[in-house]
Structures are given as structure tokens and as C-alpha cells.
């Protein structure tokens, strides 16, 4: 009941998120990534303020509980869009990029964009769906395993923030270099971003690798979760190191405009990933450490295919 009420409010933020992503894509593609900070700062401040006044109630604001958190998120996304749009309009020489507001609808351009992006839609749908299947399988292992996996998912997301951000940067910069006819600079660029991505993930994950119990005690007081989660946490940390490498190569392929190739790589990786999950988790019922080792199957598969494609030079065609 609470979840349904939350979703009914939260869903109103989706149109603003989609429009905001268009602004962010423009800033990344034109090497103006610093301009994203303004919208992020406004979104964070609005979210914190309205979380406080709407969840707990403050003066004339009612106490809404979980629904207040949903409404605060919607307000923060609206603020992000307004700030990002204002920064976009104030960007110097914006007319050079032929960005015009409130003009006629360009149906041929919309069709071309949809055809080009449709493999990415399929790709993201499959990747998110595969992770949902993974958590359904983990729930079959037991309550402690399911609760621990929710903590590990948070760790995976936090440690992987830099890797995904640098992956998006690789996508934009590779596309930028190809547009400038500087294909020879693409692989050196990938190596530079790769070094930064792996270094960041390694430094963040090092403490978690050697002191997993201390970290888990900060999050939970349940000794069963801490006992179950120590070894899987180490597995997750090492998996994020693999993620930090493979996501750079995978986004480099995407930056070359080969969206169908990315979709094929994603499908193959997910088939291997789900095959591992079905055998190891659902059929053999191995411990949680083996379950989270599935991340190696997924990320190593993407790394092997993407790196081979990049070094083969096929993207130049």
C-alpha cells in the first residue's frame, strides 16, 4: 500500500528527469561537464529541505511520511531541470550547435534519433531486468542473504559511481574525437580514462576489502547479516574493479556510434550472466559469495568483447 502510494507520486518526476538528461548529454558532448554541477547542487539542496519539511512536517507543511519523500524527489527534479535549462540557454555560442526552442517538430530527426537509440533502449531494459532476476533468485537463499544483498547493492552503486561517470565521459569524448577526425587519439584517451577509473575504484574499495566487518557494523547491527556479508562484500569490491575497466571500453564502443554492437554485446553478456545465476543460485543453491561472483561473469564478458572490438579497429569503419 505504501509502495503504491509512493510510486503514484514519484512517477510525476520522470518527464523532468528525461528532459534533464538531454541537457546533461549536451554538456558532456560539448566538453562542458562542469555546468552539470549547478543543477546537481540545486537538486540536492531542494531534496534535503523538502525531505525534512514534508516527511516530518514543519509549520504549515503537513507530515506526509514516505509520500513526502516522493514529493520532495519530484520537486528536486523540477528544480534540476530549471537550473540545467537556464545554464544551457546561457551557454556561449549555443546557436552554433543549432539548438532552438519552441520551433516546429522535426519528425525525420526524431525518427533517426529513435532508430539510433532503440538498441540502447533494449540494452538497458535487459541489463536492469537481469539484475531484478538476480535479486529474485537471491531471495530464495534466505532472508539474511536477501537483506545482505540490499546492502551490497548500495556498496556496488557507491563504488561504481566514478566508473559509470567516467564511462559516460569516455562515450562523449570518443564521439567528440571521431567527429574531429582524430581517430588516432581514441585509444590513448581510453587508456588515460581507464587509469583514472581503475585507480579511483581501487582506492575506495581497498578499505572495504580489508575491513568488511567494520563497514557492515556501521550499516547494520544484525550479526547474521554481518556474518553472511563479509566474504560477499570482498567479492563485490573486486567486481567493481572489473566494472571500472569494462565500462570504459563498453562506453568507448558506444561513443563510436555502434549502438547495435553494444546491444549484441549486452545480450551475450546477459545470457552468460543469467545462465550462471540459474545454475549457481537457483539450482545448486551455493552460498551468497558464489551468487555475487556472477558480476565477474557479466563484466568480464563485456570487457572481453568491447576491448577486442576497440583494438581490432572495426569501429573506424
Q: What was the pLDDT predicted at 110?
A: 83
Question: What is the spatial distance between Cα 317 and Cα 194, in angstroms, rounded to a whole number?
Answer: 24
Q: Which of 66-70, 164-168, 266-270 has the highest mean pLDDT?
A: 266-270
How far is CA 232 from its chain centroid? 21
Q: Is 31 left (phi over 0), alpha (psi -120 to 50) or beta?
A: left
Mean pLDDT for the chain? 87
**CA 159 vs CA 3, 71, 155, 270: distances in Å:** 27, 28, 6, 22
Residue 33 has pLDDT above 80, yes or no: no
DSSP 3-state of 293: coil
Residue 9 has pLDDT above 90, yes or no: no
8 A C-beta contact, residue 213 and residue 267: no
Q: What was the pLDDT predicted at 220?
A: 78
* pLDDT, tens digit (0-9, with 9 covering 90-100), for 107-160: 888 888 888 888 878 888 888 889 889 999 998 888 888 888 888 888 877 777
**Cell digits for 297?**
561473469
Q: What was the pLDDT predicted at 89?
A: 82
Per the model's pLDDT, the better-predicted residue between 78 and 217 turns out to be 78
Q: What was the pLDDT predicted at 310?
A: 95
8 A C-beta contact, residue 280 and residue 235: no
Q: What percent of the chain has pLDDT over 70?
A: 97
Q: What was the pLDDT predicted at 1?
A: 63
**CA 211 vs CA 97, 207, 208, 219, 234: distances in Å:** 50, 6, 5, 13, 9
Q: Whole-angstrom distance between the N-terminal and C-terminal Cα of the chain?
A: 53
- The residues spanned by each domain of the chain are 2-103, 115-316
Q: What was the pLDDT predicted at 35?
A: 83
Q: What percent of the chain has pLDDT over 90?
A: 38
Per the model's pLDDT, the better-predicted residue between 237 and 30 turns out to be 237
Residue 183 has pLDDT above 80, yes or no: yes
* pLDDT, tens digit (0-9, with 9 covering 90-100), for 88-113: 887 776 667 777 666 778 888 888 88
* pLDDT, tens digit (0-9, with 9 covering 90-100), for 195-210: 999 998 899 888 888 8
Per the model's pLDDT, the better-predicted residue between 159 and 78 turns out to be 78
Question: What is the spatial distance between Cα 310 and Cα 128, in angstroms, rounded to a whole number?
Answer: 25
Q: Please report which confidence band the pLDDT of residue 282 belongs to, taking 50, 70 and 90 as the band edges.
A: very high
Q: Is 266 exposed, middle or buried, given 0-12, 13-18 or 19+ CB atoms closer than 10 A?
A: buried
Question: What is the spatial distance between Cα 92 and Cα 279, in angstroms, rounded to a whole number?
Answer: 55
Name the phi and psi angles at 101, rounded to 5.
Answer: -100, 145
Amino acid at each position: 500500500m505504501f509502495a503504491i502510494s509512493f510510486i503514484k507520486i514519484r512517477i510525476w518526476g520522470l518527464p523532468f528527469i528525461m528532459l534533464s538528461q538531454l541537457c546533461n548529454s549536451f554538456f558532456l558532448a560539448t566538453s562542458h561537464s562542469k555546468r552539470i554541477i549547478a543543477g546537481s547542487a540545486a537538486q540536492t539542496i531542494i531534496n534535503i529541505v523538502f525531505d525534512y519539511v514534508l516527511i516530518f512536517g514543519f509549520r504549515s507543511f503537513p507530515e506526509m511520511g514516505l509520500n513526502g519523500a516522493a514529493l520532495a524527489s519530484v520537486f528536486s527534479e523540477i528544480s534540476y531541470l530549471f537550473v540545467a535549462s537556464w545554464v544551457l540557454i546561457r551557454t556561449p555560442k549555443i546557436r552554433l550547435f543549432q539548438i532552438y526552442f519552441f520551433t516546429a517538430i522535426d519528425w525525420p530527426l526524431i525518427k533517426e534519433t529513435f532508430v539510433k537509440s532503440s538498441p540502447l533502449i533494449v540494452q538497458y531494459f535487459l541489463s536492469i531486468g537481469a539484475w531484478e532476476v538476480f535479486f529474485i533468485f537471491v531471495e530464495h537463499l534466505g532472508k539474511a542473504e536477501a537483506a545482505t544483498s540490499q546492502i551490497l547493492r548500495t556498496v556496488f552503486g557507491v563504488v561504481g559511481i566514478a566508473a559509470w561517470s567516467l564511462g559516460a565521459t569516455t562515450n562523449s569524448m570518443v564521439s567528440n574525437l571521431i567527429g574531429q577526425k582524430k581517430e588516432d587519439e581514441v585509444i590513448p584517451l581510453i587508456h588515460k580514462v581507464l587509469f583514472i577509473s581503475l585507480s579511483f575504484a581501487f582506492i575506495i574499495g581497498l578499505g572495504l576489502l580489508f575491513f568488511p566487518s567494520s563497514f557492515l557494523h556501521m550499516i547494520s547491527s544484525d550479526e547474521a547479516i554481518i556474518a553472511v556479508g563479509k566474504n560477499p562484500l570482498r567479492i563485490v569490491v573486486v567486481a567493481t574493479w572489473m566494472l571500472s575497466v569494462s565500462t570504459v571500453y563498453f562506453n568507448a564502443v558506444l561513443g563510436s556510434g555502434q549502438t547495435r554492437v553494444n546491444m549484441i554485446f549486452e545480450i551475450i553478456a546477459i545470457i552468460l550472466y543469467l545462465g550462471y545465476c540459474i545454475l549457481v543460485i537457483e539450482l545448486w543453491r551455493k552460498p551468497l559469495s558464489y551468487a555475487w561472483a556472477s558480476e565477474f561473469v557479466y563484466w568480464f564478458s563485456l570487457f572481453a568483447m568491447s576491448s577486442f572490438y576497440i583494438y581490432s579497429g572495426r569501429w573506424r569503419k
